Amino acid sequence: MESAYSMKFSSKDKKQLLKIIFGEHLDISCSGIVQSADGTFQVVAYVNEEKKKQLLSRKSTSIDVIVLEDMLKTGIERQKEVSQRNRFKDTKRPIIKGLGIKE
């Protein structure tokens, strides 16, 4: 399975961020550019390994790029926190079936 990374892009110039988002076809999910308390504009994007290396190799004085996390690695680690037992197995409650539509 290929890793996916979340990366944060920051700039004082909102137009520079828009340029990189649209120019690089970055996946910003359902979010957008937000302005932080210090006046900088920030956006989080999701990229694969190749795109991450490409974006980090470009040095820019107007845009700061930070890798937040390897989401695949984080997901695997969080799976260890999920219980393996079925909490509904020994319940005395009746099993609910159907679509919840009154007939």
Spans of all domains in the chain? 4-79
Using a pLDDT cut of 90, give the percent of the chain over it. 67
> Which pLDDT does position 100 carry in this prediction?
75
pLDDT digits (tens, 9 = 90+) for 38-87: 999 999 999 999 999 999 998 788 999 999 999 999 999 999 888 888 77
Residue 4 pLDDT more than 70?
yes
Instruction: Give buried/exposed letters for 47-77 (b at 16+ CB in 10 A, else e).
Output: beeebbeebeeeeeeebebeeeebeeeeeee
Average pLDDT over residues 7-31: 94
- The CA-CA-CA angle for residues 63, 68, 69, to 5°, reads 145
The predicted structure's pLDDT at residue 103:
63
Q: According to CATH, what is the number of the domain 4-79?
A: 3.30.70.120
Helix (H, G, I), strand (E, B) or coil at 64: strand
Tens-digit pLDDT profile for residues 38-50:
999 999 999 999 9
pLDDT at 96 exceeding the cut of 80: no
Which tokens sit at 46? 């999701």
Q: Any idea what DSSP says for residue 27?
A: B
